[in-house]
Chain A
C-alpha cells in the first residue's frame, strides 16, 4: 500500500469510531452492585428523626431508592419526573437525603412537592458509600428479594422512566 495513504486510513478508522461513539452515552455506567443484594442500612426519617427507615421493612415489594439533596441542581431537574411517577402509583419511590441539611431539605420538599412516602437521612454519606453513589441524583430499582436490579446515574427523564423503569418494575412485580 502507498505509505502516504496511511495517515488517511488511520483517520478514517478513528472517524468511524467517533461516529459510533456519538450514539453512545458515556454516563451509562454498569454498577457492580446490579444483581447483588441492596446494602442494608437503618437511617432516621427526615420528617421524624425518631423513626428508622430500613430496607428490611420493604421486603416483598418492588421499590425505587432515590438519592437526592436540596443542594443538587440535577435533583431539581429530575424532580417533576419523580412527582409524575409517584402520582401514577406504578412504584413507590423512597428517598435518601444525601449529605444535606435537614431544614433545607424539608423546605425543598415543601416548595417543590414530596414524591416520597419516606425519606431517610444520610447526612454523613455512609449509605451513599455502600451503594457506590457517584453523585446525586442516583436511583436504584430494588426487587422483592431486596436485590438491586437497575441503577440510574444522574437525573431520570420521562423517557427512561417509560422505557426502562416501568417495564422493569412490571416484570419484577410479576415474579
Chain B
C-alpha cells in the first residue's frame, strides 16, 4: 500500500509539473498575473508530493519490503538500518528520485527567497524548473520506476553493492546532486532572462548566491567522492580520471567559470552573453553527466546501472533541454549586447582569461571522456583515454590560470597598469620563486613539477596576503578589528576560496612528489619499513560483521622505535552478493597518511600487503573544504542578506566609499 502511495504521489507531481511548466511561462508571455501566480503554489505542491514519494520509498526500505523490486535488488534484511536508508540512492531508480527531490528542494527554496524578484521573472524561473522536473518525473514513471512491485515478493534482498556500504557513500550522492541540480537555478535564471530579454546587473546579482551555493555543494560532493575512492577502493589513489568522476568535474569547471563571470556581470555589467552561456553549460554538463553515468555508453569502475532504453530517454531529454536552450541562446543572445568595454590588462581581462582557461580545461576533459566513444562510433578502433592524457593537457592549462588567480584580484577594473601591478606584486613573486627553488631541496628532492606546484601555492597565498593588506589599509577603520570587519564578507570568501586552491595544490604536489608505496609479502611477526615508519604484521584474525565476514589484519606501526598506532585493515566478504571488498586502514595526519590494505592471503598466515606513505594527502580534501567554506562566507555577505529582506541593497557610507576606492 505504502509504495502505491509513493507511486501515486509521483504521478500527481508529474501533473503539477505540467501545470507549473506551462501556465506561468505563458502567463509571463501574455502578462496575465493570475497565470503567473500559479508558479509558487505549484512548486510547493510538487515539493510536498516528491517528499511524500521519497518517504514512501524510505519506509519500504526501513520495513524491508522485498515485494518492491528496487528494495529487493538494493538491500538485504541483514543490512543495518542506516545503510538501508542510504540504499534509497544506492542504484539508478532511487538516485533519480533523490535527484528529483533535490530539484524540488531548490524550487521550494526559490519560492521562499524570491520575494524581491519581479513576478514575471519568478514565474519564468519556476516554470523552467518545472519543465526540468517534468522530464525527470516522466523518466522515472516510464522506464525507471522505483516503486515497481515484485510479485511474489523475494524472500531476501540482493543487498546493497558493498562498495557503497560506507559512511562516505551515504552522504556523497546527496551533496553531489545538491551541486548538480543547484545549477538548475542558475540555468533557470538564464533561460528566464533570455525569454524576457532583460539581462542586467540585477539579474546577475540574483543568480550569484544561488550559483555559489550550488558550487559549494558540488565542491564538497566531489571531494567526498574522491575521499571515498581513496579509502574504499584500496589502491590509495584519489582521482582516476574515470568517466564518472569527469562527469562531476566538468560541471564544476563550468560552474567555477560561471561564479567568476557572474561577478563581472554583477559589478561591471560585462560578460552578459558569456555568463548566460556558462549558466546553460554548467547545468547541461550536469545533465550530460547523468546521461554518461546512467546510459552505459562509457564503461567505468562506477557504472552500476546501465540500460540502453534509459539511455535513449535521457538522450532525447538532453537534446530537448540543452538543444532548446542553446537554440534560444542563439536566437536571443545577439540582442543582449556585450556590456562595457575593457582593456585586456584589467581585472575583467584577467577574469575572462581565467574563464577561457577553465572552459578550455572543461573542454579537454569532455574530449578525453568522449574520445573513446567518438572513435568507436566512427569505427576507428577501441581505445581508452587515461590519466597520462588528462595530466598532460590539464596541468599546462591550470598553471596560467593559477598564476592569473594571484594577479586578478589586485588588478583594477577596466584598465590596470602593468608597472603598478609589478611593483605591488614583486614581494609575492620573490618569495614564491625563492620558496619554489629552495623548499624542495630542504624536503629532499628537487623536481620541476614539485617546484612548480610549490611556486603556484606560495604565489596564491602571498598575493592574497598583499591584496588583504591593501584592502585593510584602504577601508580606513581605526583598529585592526574594525578594519577586518569593514572588509566585505564576499572579499573574505574569495580569499579563503583561493587559499583553498593553494592548500589543494600543496596536497597534490607533495603526494605526487613524495609518496612511497610497497607491495610486500608479510609473514606473521615480520616487519616492513616505509617512509620512516616500521610496520609489524601481527597476523590476521577472522571477524564477523552484520552482513559480512572478514579477515582483519593487525599492523603495529612504530616511528624511531616508539609505537605510534595499530592499524586494522580488513578483507571483507559480503554474504549476499559473495563479493570481496578491501577495507584499507588509514592513520590520517596533518602531514602524512599511513595507508595499509590487505592483498591476498598466502600460505601459513602470510598475506600480500600494500603499504603507502602519503605526505600531505589530506590537504587535497582539506583544500576543497576550504574552497567551499570560502563560498559559504561569500554568500553571507551583507548585500545578499539585505536583498533577502526585500530592501534596496544600500551600503553604509564608509564601506561604500571604501569599495569605490579599491574597486
Question: Provided the pairs A7-B277, A71-B578 are in contact, do residues A26 and B296 lie with their beta carbons within 8 angstroms?
Answer: yes
Are B326 and A11 closer than 8 Å at their CB atoms?
Answer: yes
Are A17 and B374 closer than 8 Å at their CB atoms?
Answer: yes
Chain B, 291-344, CB within 8 A of any chain A CB: 291, 295-299, 308, 311-312, 315, 318-319, 322-323, 326-327, 329-330, 333-334
Docked complex Cα distance between A22 and B296 (Å) = 7
B295 contacts which chain A residues (CB < 8 A)? Answer: 18, 22
Are A73 and B579 closer than 8 Å at their CB atoms?
Answer: yes
Instruction: Please pick, from A4, A12, A21, A29, the residue contacting B377 in the complex, using a CB distance under 8 A.
Output: A21
Q: Which residue of A lies closest to B381 (CB)?
A: A30
The answer to whether the Cβ of B519 comes within 8 Å of any Cβ in the partner chain is no
The answer to whether the Cβ of B657 comes within 8 Å of any Cβ in the partner chain is no
Are A5 and B297 closer than 8 Å at their CB atoms?
Answer: no
Instruction: Please pick, from A8, A20, A26, A27, the residue contacting B323 in the complex, using a CB distance under 8 A.
Output: A8
Q: Which of B329, B376, B573 has the most CB of A within 10 A?
A: B376
Q: Which of B298, B312, B322, B326 has the most CB of A within 10 A?
A: B326
Taken residue by residue from 30 to 56, chain A's Cβ proximity to chain B (1 for < 8 Å, 0 otherwise) reads as 100000000000000000000000000
Are A11 and B297 closer than 8 Å at their CB atoms?
Answer: no
A5 contacts which chain B residues (CB < 8 A)? Answer: 330
Docked complex Cα distance between A30 and B384 (Å) = 12
Are B580 and A11 closer than 8 Å at their CB atoms?
Answer: no
The answer to whether the Cβ of A161 comes within 8 Å of any Cβ in the partner chain is no
A21 contacts which chain B residues (CB < 8 A)? Answer: 297-298, 373, 376-377
Docked complex Cα distance between A8 and B298 (Å) = 23
A26 contacts which chain B residues (CB < 8 A)? Answer: 296-299, 372-373, 376
Instruction: Please pick, from B298, B333, B370, B578, the residue contacting A14 in the complex, using a CB distance under 8 A.
Output: B370
Are B297 and A22 closer than 8 Å at their CB atoms?
Answer: yes
Chain B, 330-361, CB within 8 A of any chain A CB: 330, 333-334
A15 contacts which chain B residues (CB < 8 A)? Answer: 315, 318-319, 323
B647 contacts which chain A residues (CB < 8 A)? Answer: none
Question: Provided the pairs A8-B323, A17-B373 are in contact, do residues A24 and B329 lie with their beta carbons within 8 angstroms?
Answer: no
Are A18 and B382 closer than 8 Å at their CB atoms?
Answer: no
Are B370 and A17 closer than 8 Å at their CB atoms?
Answer: yes
A22 contacts which chain B residues (CB < 8 A)? Answer: 295, 297, 308, 311-312, 315
Taken residue by residue from 62 to 99, chain A's Cβ proximity to chain B (1 for < 8 Å, 0 otherwise) reads as 00000000110100000000000000000000000000
Are A27 and B299 closer than 8 Å at their CB atoms?
Answer: yes
Q: Which of A14, A17, A18, A20 has the most CB of B within 10 A?
A: A18
Q: Which residue of A lies closest to B284 (CB)?
A: A11
A71 contacts which chain B residues (CB < 8 A)? Answer: 573, 578-580
Taken residue by residue from 135 to 170, chain A's Cβ proximity to chain B (1 for < 8 Å, 0 otherwise) reads as 000000000000000000000000000000000000
Docked complex Cα distance between A30 and B273 (Å) = 46
Are B329 and A4 closer than 8 Å at their CB atoms?
Answer: yes
Are B377 and A24 closer than 8 Å at their CB atoms?
Answer: yes
The answer to whether the Cβ of A175 comes within 8 Å of any Cβ in the partner chain is no
Tell me the minimal C-beta distance from A96 to chain B in angstroms. 18
B291 contacts which chain A residues (CB < 8 A)? Answer: 18
The answer to whether the Cβ of A2 comes within 8 Å of any Cβ in the partner chain is yes
Instruction: Please pick, from A11, A17, A19, A30, the residue contacting B322 in the complex, using a CB distance under 8 A.
Output: A11
A12 contacts which chain B residues (CB < 8 A)? Answer: 323
The answer to whether the Cβ of B577 comes within 8 Å of any Cβ in the partner chain is yes
Docked complex Cα distance between A30 and B375 (Å) = 14
Taken residue by residue from 571 to 584, chain B's Cβ proximity to chain A (1 for < 8 Å, 0 otherwise) reads as 00100011110000
Docked complex Cα distance between A28 and B376 (Å) = 11
Q: Which residue of A lies closest to B375 (CB)?
A: A17
Chain B, 369-424, CB within 8 A of any chain A CB: 370, 372-374, 376-377, 382
Question: Provided the pairs A2-B330, A7-B329 are in contact, do residues A24 and B323 lie with their beta carbons within 8 angstroms?
Answer: no
Question: Provided the pairs A29-B382, A71-B580, A73-B579 are in contact, do residues A4 and B315 lie with their beta carbons within 8 angstroms?
Answer: no
B296 contacts which chain A residues (CB < 8 A)? Answer: 26
Q: Label chain B's interface by main secondary structure.
A: helix
Chain B, 85-118, CB within 8 A of any chain A CB: none
Instruction: Please pick, from A7, A8, A18, A30, the residue contacting B373 in the complex, using a CB distance under 8 A.
Output: A18
Taken residue by residue from 81 to 119, chain A's Cβ proximity to chain B (1 for < 8 Å, 0 otherwise) reads as 000000000000000000000000000000000000000
B312 contacts which chain A residues (CB < 8 A)? Answer: 22
Tell me the minimal C-beta distance from B372 to chain A in angstroms. 7
Tell me the minimal C-beta distance from A19 to chain B in angstroms. 6
Docked complex Cα distance between A175 and B107 (Å) = 68
Tell me the minimal C-beta distance from B212 to chain A in angstroms. 24
Tell me the minimal C-beta distance from A74 to chain B in angstroms. 11
Are B333 and A4 closer than 8 Å at their CB atoms?
Answer: yes
Tell me the minimal C-beta distance from B376 to chain A in angstroms. 5
Q: Which residue of A lies closest to B158 (CB)?
A: A73
Docked complex Cα distance between A7 and B370 (Å) = 17
Tell me the minimal C-beta distance from A34 to chain B in angstroms. 13
B281 contacts which chain A residues (CB < 8 A)? Answer: 7
Are B580 and A7 closer than 8 Å at their CB atoms?
Answer: no
Docked complex Cα distance between A4 and B326 (Å) = 9
Tell me the minimal C-beta distance from A30 to chain B in angstroms. 6
Tell me the minimal C-beta distance from B165 to chain A in angstroms. 16
Tell me the minimal C-beta distance from A61 to chain B in angstroms. 31
A24 contacts which chain B residues (CB < 8 A)? Answer: 297, 373, 376-377
Tell me the minimal C-beta distance from A143 to chain B in angstroms. 24
Are A8 and B377 closer than 8 Å at their CB atoms?
Answer: no
B334 contacts which chain A residues (CB < 8 A)? Answer: 2, 4
Tell me the minimal C-beta distance from A76 to chain B in angstroms. 9
Q: Which residue of B lies closest to A99 (CB)?
A: B600
Q: Which of A2, A8, A12, A21 has the most CB of B within 10 A?
A: A21
Instruction: Please pick, from B327, B573, B579, the residue contacting A8 in the complex, using a CB distance under 8 A.
Output: B327
B284 contacts which chain A residues (CB < 8 A)? Answer: 11
B373 contacts which chain A residues (CB < 8 A)? Answer: 17-18, 21, 24, 26
Tell me the minimal C-beta distance from B313 to chain A in angstroms. 11
B298 contacts which chain A residues (CB < 8 A)? Answer: 21, 26
A70 contacts which chain B residues (CB < 8 A)? Answer: 578
Docked complex Cα distance between A8 and B333 (Å) = 13
Q: Which residue of B lies closest to A76 (CB)?
A: B578
Q: Which of A8, A26, A28, A73 has the most CB of B within 10 A?
A: A26
Docked complex Cα distance between A23 and B273 (Å) = 36
Docked complex Cα distance between A19 and B376 (Å) = 12
B573 contacts which chain A residues (CB < 8 A)? Answer: 71
Tell me the minimal C-beta distance from B606 to chain A in angstroms. 14
Docked complex Cα distance between A5 and B328 (Å) = 10
Are B578 and A73 closer than 8 Å at their CB atoms?
Answer: yes
Are A8 and B330 closer than 8 Å at their CB atoms?
Answer: yes
Docked complex Cα distance between A30 and B579 (Å) = 27
Q: Which residue of B lies closest to A25 (CB)?
A: B296
Docked complex Cα distance between A15 and B288 (Å) = 10
A28 contacts which chain B residues (CB < 8 A)? Answer: 382
Q: Which of B280, B299, B312, B377 has the most CB of A within 10 A?
A: B377
The 6 listed contacts between A and B (C-beta, < 8 Å) are A15-B319, A17-B374, A18-B297, A21-B298, A26-B299, A73-B578
Beyond known contacts A8-B323, A21-B297, A26-B299: 10 more, CB 8 A cutoff: A7-B329, A17-B373, A17-B374, A22-B315, A26-B297, A26-B373, A29-B382, A30-B382, A71-B573, A73-B577
For the complex of A and B, 9 pairs with smallest distance between CB atoms: A20-B377, A8-B326, A21-B297, A26-B299, A4-B330, A21-B373, A5-B330, A22-B311, A4-B333
